[in-house]
């Protein structure tokens, strides 16, 4: 088992009306609040009014209009607002895009250069950041319980993750996710699954707790996503998806395991950078193709796929290779049944930029260092198979 450090400083308030703690939580940091939100869903669900009511004694400056796949220009806009208004605390209300942008804004508030893209490309530094509180409205990315954020630059066709800051407090009320449509509910749930699948196929055997947590998260999503799709206001289903969201991307399901490269996320971020697609949909398309590809390329990884087929889908077969492929087929069937597109061509994507994507994703060696080492040519092959 590999060494690991557990260090998640976020306080998570989970459950019905968890938002009631907001005045006390914001009061810990000050009265000048930057409210960051997206395209308006928080108004439709009454969350905007509730926030304004709870924060009536604060000075709330608004930074709305954060895009899905948030742009660096929005980060700059929010950062400037923080500087101009002496903001004490940033409050993000929305999904992963809003929370990610808010994280970068918390860092951008102290940025002194001209090109805000530098805060995304500069790695490995401990950031000075404003405190961040968030109210989660979409179960997917785990941004409410990790320190990372993913920001897009349309000028350079880059979408890059970096570690910015952990939320000080995350408020997670599953009722706010009742209004998430079927497409985003499916995409978000597949993102949750992908966060544990990426680490699950690293080579370590016998890390029982991490593998067990990953399997339980997968089984929970497999059980609860169809319920949430059928009955969007099913509290238990939405609550299970929300809990799974926070733990899946927290690092916990990978404790004791070797870093696996997160190849599907790498490839998906390239696709979104060029085509602005929904993250979870890209993952749903890439993941089964990548699985079959690595299994064929290096059959020594078969035991991991056998565990996946047995423990997640309860499949049996005397032939391990057949069992491994059965598990992948079952996963693909589950994704397909949610009704999202399962081919890149359905999203209007062709192979024109695949070589550039493969080079860009491997700039830090994440393909070559993956649990099954891949070349840039392999990445292009995988993307072509997704068309
Ligand atoms: O913009 P609004 O009006 O909020 O609408 C959003 C958006 O259109 C809508 N939505 C959110 N909550 C809703 C709702 N609609 C109705 N009712 C609600 N309660 O859903 C749409 C998608 O929202 P978005 O925030 O983009 O989705 P998600 O949470 O999936 O975030 C995706 C972004 O997070 C990044 C992705 O790459 C992508 O940029 N990721 C962040 C990670 C992290 N911070 O750790 C890890 C992930 O792997 C991922 O890369
Ligand atoms: Zn993801």
The pLDDT tens digits of the residues spanning 298-326 come to 999 999 999 999 999 999 999 999 999 99
**Predicted local distance difference test score (pLDDT) of residue 288:** 98
Residue pLDDT, tens place only, 84-102:
999 999 999 999 999 999 9
The protein residue whose alpha carbon is closest to atom 33 in ligand 1 is 97
- Tens of pLDDT, residue by residue over 9-58, are 999 999 999 999 999 999 999 999 999 999 999 999 999 999 999 999 99
Q: With 80 as the cut, is the pLDDT of residue 368 above it?
A: yes
Name the residues around ion ligand 2, CB cutoff 5 A. Answer: 191
* pLDDT band per the 50, 70, 90 thresholds, residue 124: confident
**What pLDDT, on a 0 to 100 scale, did the predictor assign at position 127?**
85
Phi, psi of 154 (to 5 degrees): -70, -20
pLDDT in tens, 250-281: 999 999 999 999 999 999 999 999 999 999 99
Confidence of residue 229 (pLDDT cuts 50, 70, 90): very high
Q: How far is CA 224 from CA 166, 245, 306, 379, in A?
A: 28, 12, 24, 32
Phi, psi dihedrals of residue 267, rounded to the nearest 5°: -70, -40
User: Of all residues in the chain, what percent carry a pLDDT higher than 70?
Assistant: 100
Contact 369, 261 (CB under 8 A): yes
Q: What is the DSSP string of 158-170?
A: EEEEEE----SEE
Q: What is the mean pLDDT of the segment spanning 350-364?
A: 96
In the reported structure, the alpha carbon of residue 129 is separated from the centroid of ligand 1 by a whole-number distance in angstroms of 22
b (16+ CB within 10 A) / e for 198-222:
bbbbbebeebeebbebbbbbbebbb
pLDDT at position 203 over 80: yes
132-146, 233-247, 362-376: range with lowest mean pLDDT = 362-376
Query: What is the pLDDT averaged over residues 185-212?
Result: 96
pLDDT given at position 134: 98
Of 226, 252, 242, 136, give the one whose Cα is nearest residue 191: 242
Which ligand has its closest atom nearest to the C-alpha of 174?
Answer: 1
* CB of 193 sitting under 6 A from ligand 1: no
pLDDT(205) > 90: no
98 CA: nearest ligand 1 atom? 25
Ligand sitting nearest the alpha carbon of 98: 1
Residue 47: name the closest of 194, 178, 197 by CA.
Answer: 178
Q: Which ligand is nearest to the CA of 74?
A: 1
Q: Is the CB of 194 within 6 Å of ligand 1? A: no
Ligand 1: does its nearest atom lie under 6 Å from the Cβ of 202? no
Atom 43 in ligand 1: residue holding the nearest Cα: 143
> Does residue 282 line the site of ligand 1, with CB under 6 A?
no
Mutating to test ligand 1, I would choose from 70, 71, 138, 278 the residue with most ligand atoms within 8 A of its C-beta, which is 138
User: Between helices 208-230 and 302-313, what is the axis angle to 10°?
Assistant: 50
CATH code of the domain occupying 11-176: 3.40.50.1970
The burial class, CB within 10 Å (0-12 / 13-18 / 19+), for 377 is exposed
What does the domain layout of the chain look like in residue ranges?
11-176, 182-385
User: What is the CATH T-level fold of the domain 182-385, as seen in this structure?
Assistant: Dehydroquinate synthase-like, alpha domain (1.20.1090)
pLDDT given for residue 125 in this prediction: 75
| Cβ atoms within 10 Å of 269's Cβ, excluding its own | 23
Q: Give the pLDDT of residue 131.
A: 98
Q: Which backbone phi and psi does 94 adopt, to 5 degrees?
A: 160, -155
Half-sphere exposure of 273 (CA within 13 A, CB side): 25
Q: What is the mean pLDDT of the chain?
A: 97
**Which residue has a Cα nearest atom 34 of ligand 1?**
96
Report DSSP letters for 327-381, one per residue: HHHHHHHHHHHTT---SGGGGT--STTHHHHHHHHTTTSTTTTSSS---HHHHHH
Sheet holding 59-63, edge to edge: 11-14, 169-172, 132-136, 89-94, 32-37, 59-63
């Amino acid at each position: 088992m590999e060494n690991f450090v557990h260090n998640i400083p976020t306080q998570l308030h989970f459950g019905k009306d968890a938002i009631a703690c907001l005045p006390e939580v914001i009061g810990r940091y000050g009265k000048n609040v930057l409210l960051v939100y997206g395209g308006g869903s928080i108004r439709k669900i009454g969350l905007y009014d509730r926030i304004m009511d709870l924060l009536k004694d604060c000075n709330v400056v608004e930074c709305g209009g954060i895009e899905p796949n948030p742009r660096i220009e929005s980060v700059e806009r929010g950062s400037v607002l923080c500087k101009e208004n002496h903001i004490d605390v940033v409050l993000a209300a929305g999904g992963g895009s809003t929370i990610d942008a808010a994280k970068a804004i918390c860092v951008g508030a102290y940025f002194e250069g001209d090109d805000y893209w530098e805060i995304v490309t500069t790695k490995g530094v401990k950031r000075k950041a404003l405190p961040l509180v968030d109210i989660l409205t979409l179960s997917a990315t785990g941004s409410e319980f990790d320190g990372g954020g993913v920001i897009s630059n349309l000028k350079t066709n880059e979408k890059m993750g970096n570690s910015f800051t952990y939320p000080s407090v995350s408020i997670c009320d599953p009722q706010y996710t009742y209004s998430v449509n079927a497409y985003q509910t499916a995409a978000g749930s597949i993102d949750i699954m992908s966060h544990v699948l990426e680490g699950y196929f690293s080579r370590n055997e016998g890390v029982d707790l991490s593998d067990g947590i990953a399997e339980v998260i997968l089984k929970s999503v497999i059980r609860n996503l169809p319920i949430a799709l059928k009955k969007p206001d099913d509290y238990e289903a939405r609550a299970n998806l929300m809990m799974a969201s926070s733990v899946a991307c927290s690092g916990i399901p990978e404790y004791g395991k070797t870093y696996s490269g997160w190849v599907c996320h790498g490839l998906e971020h390239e696709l979104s950078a060029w085509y602005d697609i929904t993250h979870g949909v890209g993952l749903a398309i890439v993941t089964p193709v990548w699985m079959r590809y690595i299994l064929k390329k290096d059959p020594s990884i078969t035991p991991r796929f056998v565990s996946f087929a047995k423990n997640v889908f309860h499949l049996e077969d005397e032939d391990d290779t057949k069992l491994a492929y059965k598990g992948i087929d079952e996963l693909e069937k589950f994704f397909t049944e949610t009704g999202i597109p399962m081919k890149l061509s359905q999203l209007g994507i062709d192979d024109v930029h695949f070589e550039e994507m493969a080079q860009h994703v491997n700039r830090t060696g994440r393909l070559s260092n993956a649990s099954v080492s891949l070349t840039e040519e392999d990445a292009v092959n995988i993307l072509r198979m997704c068309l």
